[in-house]
Amino acid sequence: MFENLSDRLSGVFDRLTKQGALSEDDVKTALREVRVALLEADVSLSVARDFVKAIQDKATGQSVTKSVTPGQQVVKIVHDELVHVLAGDEADIGVLKVDNAPAPILMVGLQGGGKTTTTAKLAKRLKEKQGKRVLMASLDVYRPAAMEQLKVLGEQIGVDTLPIVAGQSPADIAKRAKQQATMGGYDVYMLDTAGRLSIDDTLMTEVEAVRDITKPRETLLVVDGLTGQDAVTTAENFDGRIGISGVVLTRMDGDGRGGAALSMRAVTGKPIKFVGLGEKMDALEEFHPERIAGRILGMGDIVSLVEKAQETIEAEQAEKMMKRFQKGRFNMNDMRMQLEQMQKMGGMESIMGMMPGMKKAASQIKESGFDDSVFKRQVALINSMTKIERANPQILQASRKKRIAKGAGLEVPELNQLLKMHRQMADMMKKMGKMGKGGMLKQAVK
Ligand code: GDP
């Protein structure tokens, strides 16, 4: 799974992580290569573009954590973005809704995608892992061989199949399956619908009828992962017409390009619940975005390293800052750190929204025209100062101010505002610092 993509990306990141310092150009080149690798893996253009942009934004905004290299940090950002693209925020990966017995599961997809095989794999899984009594029914009235195939698989895994009755329509079979599942005390009944080589109206109308009769708890699209963007288009079509609850990507054991997995969620909004990894009845896995992302990058160690470093560094920084404040020091470097911290936490409105009683104040501030881009401009102004100026903002006279504002692409009044805000904050810090170790600041940092 993902070998090619994985090889390409590890090549890019190997080069990146070996370097001690990264220039903007290094990152740009790396991201260009990431984009090409994604497109070669048949990830859709818009997903690849958004992906690279998200990484670029995050990589630029991030301060470098000591004890890991910048390259390692980029790998971590890419990893997190991969997880995001793969998972969205759904927590139902690998979970099937099978409460309220008998729970109908509708299996849909094109012919040859692996629908019948996957139906049996899932039935086996429900039986063995969840102790469910499952009934499987083939609705493929066009191919008697397909009905026979499901029966054989059922015997193999010890799961009942609905007796085959010649001449019935899919809707009739669905009714019969529902009835037998209810009478026979089954927990789940699975409906393996007929596939076509391509999507056509008759197929969809048929599946719609079955859906309306059974009201499935899950409608799973089974689609060949090797078909890349076609798999995503198929999912869009089925979802538009039938409404699907999730996707099973098959043939992920091949050395396919794997792009379908990356685009699926972003394009269709539907979760990939399982992946098929072979022809055997056990070759089905839950789709875990974390694991898949790790596999794609082949760099799980680096990811956890950076996570750990970030945790400790943040605590370290907070401690260091507290000591400085206690001594009454608060220069532009401290201020920049505070501003960046605020942005990281989701901006002014979100921070204030979290504090009891501050929601109203937050919306008032917003109404007055303040928005979080102010923080960004302020950071730009601080970045435009020299090291000496940042440590001693009191030395800023007219000519320095002009140069700093120009460097940030802003006007002097905005810099004056920043300086005023800095003085006020410094005063406050001094007061808080004087309150000593048991004081407010210690509480706040904790
Ligand atoms: P259907 O027409 O959609 O019902 O497809 P089938 O279930 O009959 O599968 C078509 C072929 O693909 C069969 O030979 C299966 O064994 C094979 N197949 C299904 N899933 C997988 C998978 O995850 N990996 C591999 N390698 N083969 C699979």
pLDDT digits (tens, 9 = 90+) for 60-74: 666 555 556 667 777
Residue with the larger pLDDT of the pair 111 and 296: 111
What is the average pLDDT score of the chain? 81
CA of 14 to the centre of ligand 1 (A): 36
Phi, psi for 331 (deg, rounded to 5): -105, -170
Quote the pLDDT of residue 208: 94
- The closest-lying atom of ligand 1 relative to the alpha carbon of residue 112 is 2
What mean pLDDT comes out for the span 434-443?
46
In the CATH hierarchy, which fold is given to the domain comprising 103-287?
A: Rossmann fold (3.40.50)
Every domain range in the chain assigned CATH 1.10.260.30: 327-445
Rounded to the nearest whole angstrom, what is the distance from the C-alpha of residue 85 to the centroid of ligand 1?
Answer: 26
Of the residues 106, 111, 117, 274, which should be mutated to test ligand 1's pocket, given the most ligand atoms within 8 Å of the CB? 117
327-445 has which CATH code?
A: 1.10.260.30
- Say whether pLDDT at 308 is over 80: no
For atom 12 of ligand 1, the residue with the nearest CA is 114
Q: Is the CB of 116 under 6 A from ligand 1?
A: yes
Choice among 1-10, 131-140, 176-185, 427-436 with the minimum mean pLDDT: 427-436
Most confident of the ranges 4-13, 47-56, 101-110: 101-110
How confident is the model over 34-55, as a mean pLDDT? 85
Residue 152 Cβ inside 6 Å of ligand 1? The answer reads: no
Bridge partner residues of 192 (DSSP): 107, 138
- Which amino acid residue places its CA nearest to atom 14 of ligand 1? 279
- Ligand 1 atom with the smallest distance to the CA of 277 is 23
pLDDT score recorded for residue 348: 64
**The tokens of 344 are what?**
């990281």
Q: How confident is the model at residue 359 (pLDDT cuts 50, 70, 90)?
A: low
Nearest to 76 by CA among 64, 88, 86: 64
Per-residue pLDDT band for 432 (boundaries 50, 70, 90) equals: low
Distance 114 CA to ligand 1 centre (A): 4
**Residue with tokens 């390409």, as numbered in its chain:** 8
- Asked if the model's pLDDT at residue 99 lies above 50, the reply is yes
Task: Using a cut of 0.80, tell me whether the model's pTM lies above it.
Answer: no
Provide the pLDDT for residue 192.
Answer: 96
Residue 356 has pLDDT above 60, yes or no: no
Least confident of 119-123, 138-142, 150-154, 430-434: 430-434
- The confidence band for 312, taking pLDDT boundaries of 50, 70 and 90, is low
**CB of 111 shorter than 6 A to ligand 1:** yes
Which CATH number among 3.30.70.360, 1.20.120.140, 1.10.287.1260, 3.50.50.60 corresponds to the domain 3-90+297-301?
Answer: 1.20.120.140
118 Ramachandran zone, left/alpha/beta (phi>0; psi -120 to 50) = alpha
Reported confidence tier of residue 444, pLDDT bands at 50, 70, 90: very low
Rounded-to-10 torsion of CA 349, 354, 359, 362 = -20
Could you give the angle at the alpha carbon of 99 between the alpha carbons of 96 and 101, nearest 5°?
120
Q: Is the CB of 114 under 6 A from ligand 1?
A: yes
What's residue 67's pLDDT? 58
Instruction: Give CA–CA dist 229/121, Å, rounded.
Output: 25
Helical axes 45-61 vs 70-87, angle rounded to 10°: 140
Contact between residue 125 and residue 283 where contact means Cβ atoms under 8 Å apart? no
274: number of Cβ within 10 Å: 24
Distance CA 415, CA 404 (A): 8
Is pLDDT above 70 for 311?
no
CATH 3.40.50.300 location in the chain = 103-287
Q: Which residues are annotated as a binding site for GTP?
A: 109-116, 192-196, 250-253
* Overall average pLDDT of the 9-20 stretch: 74
What pLDDT score was predicted for residue 446?
A: 35
Q: Do β-strands 134-138 and 160-161 pair in parallel, antiparallel, or remain unpaired? A: parallel
**Residue predicted with more confidence, 46 or 148:** 148
126 CA to centre of own chain:
27
Mean pLDDT of the region 146-161: 95
Question: Does residue 397 register a pLDDT over 70?
Answer: yes
**135: pLDDT strictly greater than 90:** yes
pLDDT at 51 (0 to 100): 87
User: What are the residue ranges of CATH 1.20.120.140 in the chain?
Assistant: 3-90+297-301
